[in-house]
Amino acid sequence: MESRSRATGQLIWILLFFAFTACVIAALLQAAMVYNNITGVLNDEFSIHTGLNYVQSRVRSGDSGGGVYVGKFDGIDALYCLEKDSDGEYTTIIYGYDGSMRELYCEKGAEFEPDAGEKLLDMDSLGFEDAGSGLIRVTCASGGSTGSIYIASRTEGGGGA
Amino acid sequence: MSRHSGISLFLMELVMMLAVFVTVAAIDTLMLVKANNLSRQSENLDRAVEYAVSAAECYRATGGGARAGMTDTGGAWTQYFDKNWQSTDESGAKFAVIMTDTGGGAQVTVNDGGESIYTLSVKAAPNEG
Amino acid sequence: MKDNGIVERKPVVGLVTLLVIFASLCLTILAVLSLSTAKYEMTLARKNADAATAYYKADSWCAGVSDELYSVWMSGGDLNAAAAKHGGKCEKTAEGYTISYVCAVDDARLLAVTIDAGGSFSVVSWKTVPRTEWTADDSIHVWTEQDEQEIEQAQK
């Protein structure tokens, strides 16, 4: 009788201890899930918002003489920003290739492979479309999230392919 | 006696530590909830700015919002989105992008329910284009 | 401790305290990290929104000036005076006039507009430019042609 009560007492404290431990672990896992959710969304959305902002800044700083237009770079949708100086004409080409947004600065008409561009951001896809009337539609996707924005060229000749 | 006092000590410790953990967990849960809300608000603000800028650029280029996917509702251009910022109709909408003509320009407002998240004013130069 | 042949285990005092201290620390660190990450996100989003608002404020001002210059050009008025009124410049060219003016967007950027007003009125350039020119920091001596010559001479 006494030995049974002792065994029961031992069992109770062991069970209590494990129940408490399980609750503590469940609370920690919940907190980790929330943190994971916040940082996961941040990473995906960061690529999209930063990418779109960067393209916007590029268009706004290069909108001169119809020098901003949509085209194809080795069959890939690309945005061209043309600039002229005393040395000649140069283009900045922004495109999506191999899971990232890339930028290539070269002489106008020079031929390069798509992997020659510098990687700017990780991005699943990047698309440029001429929406007419000088409007350019930029769409991008990263980690299940997508974003798009319209940018207008204020100068004549800009926007179109 | 010592056996009973051993278990009593353990149970007392368990109860005290339970109280401590519950207090700490309550405070941390409040912080996590606030963090989650802030994250949602910043995401909504980013999206609101994107759609407002799209509407403004469209107005600059065309004088309206049709190219940006907006609908003319007589005096204003509107576009509705659900809680995940997917395009939807007015009945299932949480967010609304409204562009109203202000005579020579437009004002773009992004609303979350009845509250304005972001506002932008744009002016078109009729001589352009 | 044996009692009547039965081994008795005493509950380990202190184990629960250790567990709770560890769990509390983990929970608090996760909560603080989440909150600081979310606050950083919000700050970034607000800066982005403010930058967009500032750009469109400048853009609207420039559009207003462009509209005014267009009216003056259409009526054959004095483009020089109209440009000067808004701090701009007007230069005579073979085709007509080239008018340029700027508006501050924020501490780092200006919106610079150039318009050709001759046979037609067209916007040549409407772009953001940095307020200050970037200058290279050459305070640290890294490598010059003289260093290369000195090494060549030393090798000889």
Mean pLDDT along residues A124-140: 92
Q: Does the CB of A60 have a partner CB in chain B at under 8 Å?
A: no
Residue-range definition of the domain harbouring residue A53: 40-152
A44 falls within a domain:
yes
Domain parsing of chain C, residue ranges = 27-130
Using the Cβ of C70 and the Cβ atoms of chain B, whether some distance falls under 8 Å is answered with yes
ipTM confidence score: 0.85
| pLDDT value for C9 | 59
Identify the chains in contact with C, defined as 3+ C-beta pairs within 8 A. A, B
Number of domains into which chain A is organized = 1
Residue B106 near residue B122, CB atoms below 8 Å = yes
Is A22 domain-assigned? no
What count of other Cβ atoms lies within 10 Å of the Cβ of residue C57?
19
Least confident of A34-38, C82-86, C88-92: A34-38
Q: Is residue A6 part of a domain?
A: no
Looking at residue A56, its pLDDT comes to: 94
Subunits close to B (at least 3 CB pairs below 8 A): A, C
Per-residue confidence band for A158, with pLDDT thresholds at 50, 70 and 90: low
CA–CA gap between residue C32 and residue B114 (Å, rounded): 32
CA distance C110 to C55: 9
Chain B residues within 8 Å of chain A (Cβ atoms)? 3, 7, 10-11, 14, 17-18, 21, 25, 28, 32, 35-36, 39, 43, 46-47, 50, 53-54, 57-58, 60-62, 67-68, 128-129
Of A20, A31, A53, which has the smallest distance from its Cβ to C30's Cβ?
Answer: A31
* pTM listed for this prediction: 0.84
- pLDDT tens, position by position, for chain B (129 residues)? 455 666 788 888 889 999 999 999 999 999 999 999 999 999 999 999 999 999 999 999 888 888 888 999 888 999 999 998 999 988 889 999 999 998 889 999 999 988 999 999 999 866 554
Q: Note whether residue A35 is domain-resident.
A: no
- CA–CA distances in Å: residue B29 to residues B37, C32, C155: 12, 11, 70
Average pLDDT over residues C10-38: 89
Let me know if residue A77 belongs to a domain. yes
State the count of interchain CB pairs (< 8 A) between B and C: 117
Q: What pLDDT score was predicted for residue A14?
A: 84
As a whole number of angstroms, the distance between CA C107 and CA A43 comes to: 29
Is A30 among the domain residues?
no
User: C27 and A49: CB-CB below 8 Å?
Assistant: no
Q: Cβ distance C66 to C111 under 8 Å?
A: no
What rounded mean pLDDT belongs to chain A? 88
Give residue A145's pLDDT band: very low, low, confident or very high (50, 70, 90): confident
Residue matched to tokens 């299940």: A144
Q: Is the pLDDT of residue A156 over 60?
A: yes
Tokens encoding A11? 């069992």
